[in-house]
Amino acid sequence: MRVRHWLKNGFVLAPAVFAGHALDAPAMERALAVAAAFCLASSAGYLVNDVLDREADRTDPVKRFRPVASKAMSVAAALAWAVALFAAAAVLSLEGGAAAALALAGYVAVTLLYSLFLKSLAVVDAMAVATGFLLRLVAGAFAIPVTISHWLVVCGFLLALLLAFGKRLPEAAGAGGRAPRYPLSYLHDVVTMLAGVTLVAYILYTVAPDTTRKLGGSNALLLTVPLVLFGIMRYLLLLHREGAQDPTATLFRDRALLATVVVWIAAAGAIVLAAGGTR
């Protein structure tokens, strides 16, 4: 079920935080319910993925220990759990309204298509992963509800693309199964490009008219740019120095990167709350 990867569903809460609803209990309750629904749906997706990849996983030195691949869990049991989790996620997502539930349905569709065949298509595989993060943001905005900044959407999508392609760098030399093979030089170019455009997109978000208006005319969010710059540069360093294949594991393992993310969340949240946000 990859519980540690539930951290990725924090994207669902981003619209509430940046719209100034972090202290709005009813709004946060809806956003948290939708985030929980995405946690269950993502775990169901991992179960389906492990069933489909069980033969390939058995030849991998690390993935062969996964429950389905190691036969610690039967295929029938894994699929039964997946159906139950998908159903629970659907019911829970309704706490955020019909639109949020539709966004979750879109995420489930993309996840299943990814496991079935999109993961074998170069570039499309990373785009599918990034689309999953985009749907998390959209679902979070629907749950509040609030109109999400187009720059926040762009930033989230680009960051997800950066992490998706970054994960493929250490895989490139020995990609197996249905994973697409990428030339290392191509991946280096793409990761470098995405790192730059992600930073630029975030800078533009901090000074966008919609953002400054929500902050009472202030562009104080621009002060968090150095944190984002350091975080991206630190991730790239770990990627090239250690082959940071799993972004979630890398975040928890590297204290400097974890501290940067925590400080950025605290700083951005404080700036939005101090400005009063919008209701």
**For the segment 161-199, what is each residue's pLDDT rounded down to a tens digit?**
999 998 888 777 554 445 577 888 899 999 999 999 999
- Per-residue confidence at 277, pLDDT binned at 50, 70, 90? very low
Write the pLDDT tens digit of every residue in 254-273: 999 999 999 999 999 899 98
So what CATH class is 1-148?
Answer: mainly alpha
Percent of the chain with pLDDT strictly greater than 90: 70
Write the pLDDT tens digit of every residue in 190-223: 999 999 999 999 999 999 998 898 888 889 999 9
The domain locations on the chain are 1-148, 150-279
Question: What is the maximal distance between C-alpha atoms in the chain?
Answer: 58
Q: Does pLDDT of 140 surpass 60? A: yes
According to the model, what pLDDT value does residue 278 have?
41
Mean pLDDT, the chain, whole residue set: 90
Nearest Cα residue to 45 out of 120, 104, 126? 104
Write the pLDDT tens digit of every residue in 29-60: 999 999 999 999 999 999 999 999 999 889 88
- What is the arithmetic mean of pLDDT over 8-19? 90
According to the model, what pLDDT value does residue 253 have?
87
The pTM for the full model equals 0.89
Can you state the angle between helices 124-143 and 98-116, rounded to 10 degrees?
A: 170
The answer, yes or no, to whether the previous bond of 26 is cis (omega within 30 of 0) is no
Q: Bigger pLDDT: 82 or 60? A: 82
